[in-house]
């Protein structure tokens, strides 16, 4: 009776590995299987805790340590792969340039990242003793996968597929100071020089 | 919802077997039992022998619908694309978002604007004022299809209609004239 079904749609429709217990929200019926979900409202992630580290006071001769501000937004309704392109765009830019680029980008995640950056800028000025709000640059900007939900997508002829409702997190680290100059791309000459250096630094092993 | 639980391999194998059996039956007809095979005449006569091949060609294709056979000729990936290959494709510079170089500062309000596009803030300001003017017009007209055939002039607080605005319709707005709305 398999041959009587529709041509290619049945290939996607057959999912013997979609076990029903995966579809239930974690922590509801199988408490032992989900030890790592916390029941509190705001699950404290590692990125949020990075703002709480306190360094010992600097000695008089040391150069000034630039202020670092960590900020993130969790469970954004967007794909982490699509968000990654925006994160890659603003990596290493000054905060003003990043805001300008995001304002005129057509992507949905651009609006979210712009809000996150403005929040982080405000946090920097209020809580982290940053003097000029333009004197910040983006040291790191990352995306992470949020909690996915599985739903049924109805196809024709009674077929079904399982679709994922995708969410992502966005993390950003602002550092005080002008953005670092972009490093020049590695030329063939540099690679050749490194290779020759490697050859020259070889020594004889297990010998007299 | 009816969940059809099969392992992913066996129905495909069964399907292949059935298709192959059908093809075999079509190409190599074998008649076990009493029926005489459609071979040529047994006598050595110089008459053309009817071979089964032209018959099978004139027969109308296969009985099965073309969908099930076209599975065997559909394009399908041969190997799984590794994550390295996927990354090379996704992070290729032509797929990354390009940095825009046509962003300037609006001289009027100081917000950012693209060089070939009107400033968003100034446009929103003008749009809001236009909406209020239109509300005034609606109050004056009091219904659809009442637009007069003369021009309209908008006057703000403390302004009198000049000789140029003789026959025109006058709309009053109860506020100071905005700096960007030049009187003419």
B182 domain-assigned: no
pLDDT digits (tens, 9 = 90+) for B153-168: 999 999 899 998 899 9
User: Quick one: how far is CA B153 from the chain centroid?
Assistant: 45
User: ipTM greater than 0.85, yes or no?
Assistant: no
Q: Domain spans of chain A?
A: 66-176
Domain annotation covers residue B29: no
B105: in domain? no
Is B67 in the A-facing interface, judged by CB distances under 8 Å? yes
Question: Domain tally for chain B?
Answer: 1
Cβ contact (<8 Å) for A85 and B11?
no
- Grouping H, G, I as helix, E, B as strand and the rest as coil, residue B173 is coil
* Residue B177 forms part of a structural domain: no
Query: What CA–CA distance (Å, rounded) separates A79 from A165?
Result: 9
Give the Cα separation of A18 and A104 in Å (integer): 41
Q: Phi then psi for A162, rounded to 5 degrees?
A: -105, 120
What residues of chain A lie within 8 A of the CB of B8, using their CB? 14, 16
Query: What is the distance between the alpha carbons of residues A93 and A180, in angstroms, rounded to a whole number?
Result: 9
Q: Is B59 exposed, middle or buried (0-12, 13-18, 19+ CB in 10 A)?
A: exposed
Q: Write the residue in B3, B95, B112 that is nearest to A100 by C-beta.
A: B112
Q: Does B99 touch chain A (CB under 8 A)?
A: yes
Q: Is B18 contained in some domain? A: no
Q: How many A×B Cβ pairs under 8 Å?
A: 52
- Closest-CA residue of chain B to A84: B96
CB A172 within 8 A of CB A118: no
CATH number of A66-176: 3.90.470.10
Specify if B133 maps to a domain.
yes
Name the nearest CA neighbour of A89 among A44, A129, A37, A143: A143
Q: Which residues contact A208 (CB under 8 A, 6 or more apart)?
A: none
Q: Within a domain: residue B143?
A: yes
pLDDT digits (tens, 9 = 90+) for A169-207: 999 999 999 999 999 999 999 999 999 999 999 999 999
Which residue range is the domain that position B131 belongs to? 112-172
Q: Does A51 touch chain B (CB under 8 A)?
A: no
Give the list of residues 6+ apart from residue B181 with CB closer than 8 angstroms, or none: B129, B154, B156
Contacts of B172 (CB under 8 A, 6+ apart): B136, B155
Q: How high is the mean pLDDT in each 10-residue block of chain B (184 residues)?
A: 54 78 73 53 57 53 57 88 97 96 95 96 97 95 93 92 91 94 88
Inter-chain CB proximity A105 and B112 less than 8 Å? no
B93: nearest CA partner in chain A? A85
Shortest distance, CA A21 to any CA of chain B (angstroms): 14
Q: What is the pLDDT of residues A45-97, one digit of tens each?
A: 999 999 999 999 999 999 999 999 999 999 999 999 999 999 999 999 999 99
Are A89 and A101 a contacting pair, CB within 8 Å? yes
Q: Is the pLDDT of residue A121 over 80?
A: yes
Q: Tell whether B89 lies on the interface with A, counting CB pairs under 8 A.
A: no
Cα distance between residue A189 and residue A106, in whole Å: 40
Say what the alpha-carbon torsion angle A24, A27, A28, A29 is, to the nearest 10 degrees.
80
Select from A1, A22, A103 the residue whose CB has the most chain B CBs within 10 Å, as the one to mutate to test that interface.
A103
């Amino acid at each position: 009776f398999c041959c009587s079904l529709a041509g290619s749609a049945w290939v996607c429709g057959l999912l013997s590995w979609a076990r029903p217990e995966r579809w239930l929200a974690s922590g509801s019926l199988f408490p032992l299987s989900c030890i790592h979900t916390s029941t509190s409202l705001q699950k404290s992630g590692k990125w949020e805790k990075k703002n709480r580290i306190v360094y010992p006071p600097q000695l008089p001769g040391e150069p000034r340590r630039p202020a670092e501000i960590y900020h993130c937004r969790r469970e954004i309704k967007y794909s982490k792969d699509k968000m990654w392109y925006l994160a890659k765009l603003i990596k290493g830019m000054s905060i003003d340039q990043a805001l300008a680029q995001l304002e005129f980008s057509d992507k949905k995640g651009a609006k979210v990242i712009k809000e996150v950056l403005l929040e982080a800028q405000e946090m920097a000025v209020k809580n982290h003793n940053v003097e000029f709000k333009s004197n910040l640059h983006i040291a790191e900007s990352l995306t992470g996968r949020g909690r996915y939900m599985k739903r049924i997508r109805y196809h024709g002829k009674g077929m079904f597929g399982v679709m994922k409702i995708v969410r992502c997190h966005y993390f950003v680290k602002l550092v005080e100071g002008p953005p670092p100059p972009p490093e020049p791309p590695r030329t063939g000459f540099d690679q050749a020089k490194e290779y020759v250096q490697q050859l020259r630094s070889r020594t004889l092993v297990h010998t007299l | 919802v009816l969940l059809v639980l099969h392992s992913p391999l066996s129905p495909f194998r069964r399907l292949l077997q059935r298709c192959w059996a059908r093809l075999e039956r079509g190409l190599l007809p074998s008649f076990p039992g009493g029926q005489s095979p459609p071979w040529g005449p047994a006598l050595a006569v110089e008459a053309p022998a009817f071979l089964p091949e032209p018959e099978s060609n004139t027969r109308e294709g296969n009985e099965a619908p073309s969908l099930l056979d076209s599975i065997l000729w559909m394009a399908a990936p041969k190997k799984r694309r590794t994550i390295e290959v996927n990354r090379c494709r996704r992070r290729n510079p032509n797929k990354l978002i390009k940095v825009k170089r046509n962003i300037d500062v609006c001289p009027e309000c100081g917000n950012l604007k693209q060089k070939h596009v009107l400033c968003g803030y100034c446009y929103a300001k003008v749009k809001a004022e236009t909406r209020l003017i239109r509300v005034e017009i609606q109050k004056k007209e009091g219904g659809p299809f009442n637009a007069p055939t003369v021009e309209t002039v908008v006057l703000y607080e403390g302004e009198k209609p000049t000789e140029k605005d003789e026959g025109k319709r006058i709309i009053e707005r109860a506020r100071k004239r905005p700096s960007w709305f030049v009187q003419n």
